[in-house]
Structure 1
Amino acid sequence: RDGDSRGFKPRGEFAPGQDRPRERSEGRSFDKPGFGKPRSERSSDAPRSFKPTPSNGRHEKPAFKKKSDFKEVVAKDPETEKRLAEEAANRRVGRFETAPRYDLSGYDKKPGAKRKQESSEMRLNRYIANAGICSRREADDLIASGQISVNGKVVTEMGHKVETSDVVKFGKKALSREKLVYVLINKPKDYITTTDDPEERKTVLDLIKGACFERIYPVGRLDRNTTGLLLMTNDGELAEKLTHPSNGIKKIYQAELDKPITTEDFELLQAGLELEDGFVKPDELGIVTPDAMVVGLEIHSGKNRIVRRMFEHLGYEVQKLDRTVFAGLDKKDLPRGKWRFLSEKEVVRLKFML
């Protein structure tokens, strides 16, 4: 139910599991549960990196990604270009009609995002990441394996710096700094979080088809039946930052269960659970509805289906799961199934202030 804002009652006001008629209160949400626990109490798990699937199926040598199929289609068929643009416009909300250009060159990566003097030099791995084909870490692998050349010479040195005027190639393909695009989607059910589905099911790219020429990728993932916020971008560096659990990026979910959660199970969940792939503990937990059938939780784990598996471990089935907050971004003015471009202020905060 898009736009639902439900608050959670202090646990002393009712007993979870009590047989009461279900009540839904509008105008409140579990977006700010009160964050008092130290980071040291949070669980750690394996990072989930931002890795576009290479065409050769192997990750040792990431394959060069072409521009989106959309660009190739519209170059041949103006009618298709017009139709796809109209469909994208119908789903888009917010003040930006096209992907804005962000001036991020003068920001320092320190709290407060202080300005620094601009330099035309940058590290080679950053240049490759900015070309939109991989993350910085993957760019280091490309450099080390001798697949990158600068001005005709193969470079394998880590930390090598290039000028904007240098010619950088991946194999025989010249790279250029791609325009960075950031799209926020309020994902509906029945859309797959992938860029290509062999079974030809609906993907999140179908929601934004025609939004931009750049090839953008989902940051993390949401299950097919999970709704809520999903960020898509070609900024591999930011995507890696937002999906690495050591950064403690805030994600808040509302889970509607098949039965009221009991006081005992609530306390077990609050203390943390030992699942088949390790220990996991919510960073914050709260009851959203008086009938104790909707639970809000903040978690930074990137493990697959982690929220659903936590409740399944306690004997509950999650009937609806909605991500209401991701990295400080919320669903305000973003109805279900719609998308918008991020503002420069939002991008600066994500890249330099989190």
Structure 2
Amino acid sequence: MLLEKMLQSQGFGSRKYCQQLIKNGAVQINGEIIDNLKYKADLHGLEFRVYGEDYLYREKVYIALNKPQGYECSHQATHHFSVFELFDEVLMNRGLQCVGRLDQDTTGLLLLTDDGQFLQALTHPKKHVAKVYQMHTADPVTPEQAEKLEQGVELRNESGIFAATDVQRLAEHQLQMTVHQGVYHQVKRMLAAVGNKVEQLHRAQIGQLNLTDLNDLQEGEWVYLSAEQIEQAKIRE
């Protein structure tokens, strides 16, 4: 692939701007400055530098973010920060999108990608990708509430029954459960339906991809997913 097209595919800007990067001697491959506009790059395992910063060619990007509180999953946040402020311009130029959403006050595992098929595979209602949530509740969680959550509840303005699996009372006010749909405010509404209230909500896992397995990722930090981790995230119920 022509070097300028490769740079453009990686989010470095317009074709004209990428040409200018090359002319300016800003691009290095294997320690050599490439200023030839006709240079064709071998994409396999390609590592390159732009203005001294190292990059790895990625056909698509798959990212796991430990989302902090107070961030919206929106490009144009109105009342809070946007999660996209946590990424640089190069990534944003690739058209990075959230794979589903977390409320601004919800923390935990959030995936982002520029791969539309991957996004669809995880968010389509028929896919039933499991998501594990941990929460702190306003009132003590009773065995009856846990049983109702597993049996299923009705949610206003939604059709069908919404049931959780693997419901675990971790402490008097702490609960963990797995949901397989993705309707608006689902976990909070399910707790309200059994007579309790979520005060703090954290997503710990998507599919078989657990936040604790991602190198002690701190709030606000992110990593690229490996091929194995990408497949783990797609595992259904």
Give yes or no for TM over 0.5: yes
Code of the aligned partner of 2:164 = P
Match of 1:275 in 2: 155
Q: State the shift of 1:324 in Å.
A: 0.2
Structure 2 residue aligned with 1:310: 190
CA apart distance, 1:346: 2.1
Number of residue-to-residue matches in the alignment: 187
Report the counterpart of residue 201 of structure 1 in structure 2: 80
Gaps of 5+ in 2: 1-7, 22-53
Write the letter of the residue equivalent to 2:135: A
Q: Counterpart in 2 of 1:162?
A: none
- Written as runs of structure 1 = structure 2, the 5 A alignment for 1:177-326 is 179-197=59-77, 199=78, 201-210=80-89, 212=91, 213-276=93-156, 277-278=158-159, 279-289=161-171, 292-326=172-206
5+ long unaligned stretches in structure 1: 1-65, 79-96, 102-178
Partner amino acid, structure 2, of 1:297: M
- Residue-by-residue CA offset, 1:189-213 (whole Å, 9 max, x unaligned): 110011223x273111011234624
Please give the secondary structure, in 1, of the residue aligned with 2:119.
Answer: helix
Find the aligned partners of 1:253 and 1:182 in 2 and give their Cα distance: 21
* Separation of aligned partners in 1, 2:56 and 2:224: 6
Structure-2 separation of matches of 1:269 and 1:311: 8
Distance 1:70 1:310, change over 3 A: farther
How has the CA–CA distance of structure 1 residues 271 and 311 changed in structure 2, closer, same or farther, with 3 Å as cutoff? same
Shift in CA distance, 203/271, structure 1 to aligned 2, threshold 3 Å: same
Measure the CA separation in 2 of the matches of 1:259 and 1:211: 45
Query: Which stretch shifts more, 325-334 or 294-303?
Result: 325-334
Pairing of 1:130-145 with structure 2 (within 5 A): none
**1:272-308 C-alpha deviation (Å, 9 max, x unpaired):** 111111320002211112xx21110001111000000
Distance of 1:346 and 1:315 partners within structure 2 = 37
CA positional deviation for 1:262: 1.7
Deviation at residue 337 of structure 1 after TM alignment: 1.2
Distance (Å, rounded) in 2 between the aligned partners of 1:329 and 1:350: 5
Separation of aligned partners in 1, 2:133 and 2:67: 13
Contact preservation (8 Å) 1:274, 1:280 = yes
Matching residue of 1:347: 230
Secondary structure of the structure 2 residue equivalent to 1:196: coil
* Partner-residue secondary structure (3-state), 1:245: coil
1:139-183 CA-partner distances (Å, limit 9, x unpaired):
xxxxxxxxxxxxxxxxxxxxxxxxxxxxxxxxxxxxxxxx31111
Structure with more strand by fraction:
2
TM-score (norm 1): 0.48
- Equivalent residue for 2:4? none
| Residue identity in the other structure for 2:88 | K
Q: Which amino acid aligns with 1:282?
A: A
Counting aligned pairs with the same residue, the percent is 30
TM-score, normalization: structure 2?
Answer: 0.70
Q: Which has the higher contact order (CA 8 A, sep 6+)?
A: 1
Amino acid aligned to 1:243: T
Work out whether residues 63 and 222 of structure 2, in 8 Å CA contact, stay in contact via their aligned partners in 1: yes
C-alpha RMSD of matched pairs (Å):
2.8
Kept in 1: contact 2:10–2:57 (CA 8 A): no
Q: Is contact 2:209-2:233 (8 Å) kept? A: no
